[in-house]
Amino acid sequence: MEWQILRRFPIGRFLCKNPRGLEQWRWVPYGMPWLSQIFEQAVIYLYGRNVKTGEWGLGGTGFLFGYPSDMKGPNHIYAVTNWHVAVSGSFSSIRLCSRSGRDFIELEPHDWIYLSRQDDLALVDITDLLDPDRDDVTVLDAHMAVDQEYADQAKIGFGDDVFMLGMFANSPGDQRNAPVARFGNIARLPSDDALIAQETGAETPCYLIDMRSRTGFSGSPVFVYRTVTSDLRPLTDGGPISISGENTMLNLLGVHCGQYPERFEAKRTEATGDPISEGDHLQGPSAMNVVIPAWRIFDVLDHPDLKAIRMERDARRAKGLKRGHQN
């Protein structure tokens, strides 16, 4: 019988420790983890309709986020993106992954909730707008979001691997969303001593991420991960690599909201026509991206309007449970 190779990994020999504490040398696969299709289905696209022509225009990216119900039932489900996409940019309507290529969930800028002059975030409750029979969606659970306590405990820091999923605006997908992944590393942690200006006018602590990006990725979910051998602390401490999973992770780090521009001086060899002359200074995107910490999503979730919707829905669910018990 001939074996078929399904996936290749680099292989390295590492001193390992099992959950019982036994240490031994083992050959361990390492490298970038395979990303399940469920990640694609968590991504949404934001569109806006041209009032004059009625045509849809591409705006940016977002994702679905689940917040626990007080009734211990299904999560309340929110669409998360940037304020500058859904509100100020008027790209307010949502396109989900769908089995049937369904139309948009049409929303207006005023449907989205945000905190005035705070982080570049906007949320809308779409729990009752999803159709489980037609929508192929994955909801990122709130427990997946990195909070400050977990970031400190896991010692998230310089060099940790990250990836984001977002819209490739040149080819977003005709019938289904077709997001692409970009990969990078943490360059700086959020700091109260080095605030980042956002399009809302606010200056807040944010992650800086060394990662390629482009138009269409605003609002993308950014994940931090460690594989079995990507955590170098045991090696620098002279200790073994643990294979019990204690030094692995995959969590929602935050929300991509922008990138710093770079200025370039045009050279004669780069000029392709009259619009560009030698010595002109051009501006283009750099690889330094701004990511709003995931724990800031919860600040928006505490907005009175969103809390009122959750309370009303939980009350309806409670009445439904009582009727069920009576029957």
pLDDT above 80 (res 238): no
Domains and CATH numbers, the chain: 38-326 (2.40.10.10)
Q: What is the reported pTM?
A: 0.81
Q: What is the pLDDT of residues 220-229, one digit of tens each?
A: 999 998 876 5
Pairwise pLDDT comparison (244 vs 146), residue with the higher score: 146
Q: Could you give the CA distance from residue 306 to residue 111 in angstroms, rounded to a whole number?
A: 11
Q: Could you give the CA distance from residue 48 to residue 141 in angstroms, rounded to a whole number?
A: 27
Question: Hey, what are 179's tokens?
Answer: 């997001």
- Residues 223/228/232/236 CA torsion (nearest 10 deg): 160
pLDDT of the residue at 77: 95
pLDDT of the residue at 232: 45
Q: What are phi and psi of 193, to 5 degrees?
A: -90, -5
Q: What is the pLDDT of residues 280-307, one digit of tens each?
A: 666 556 679 999 999 999 999 999 999 9
- Which of 212-221, 224-233, 310-319 shows the lowest mean pLDDT across its residues? 224-233
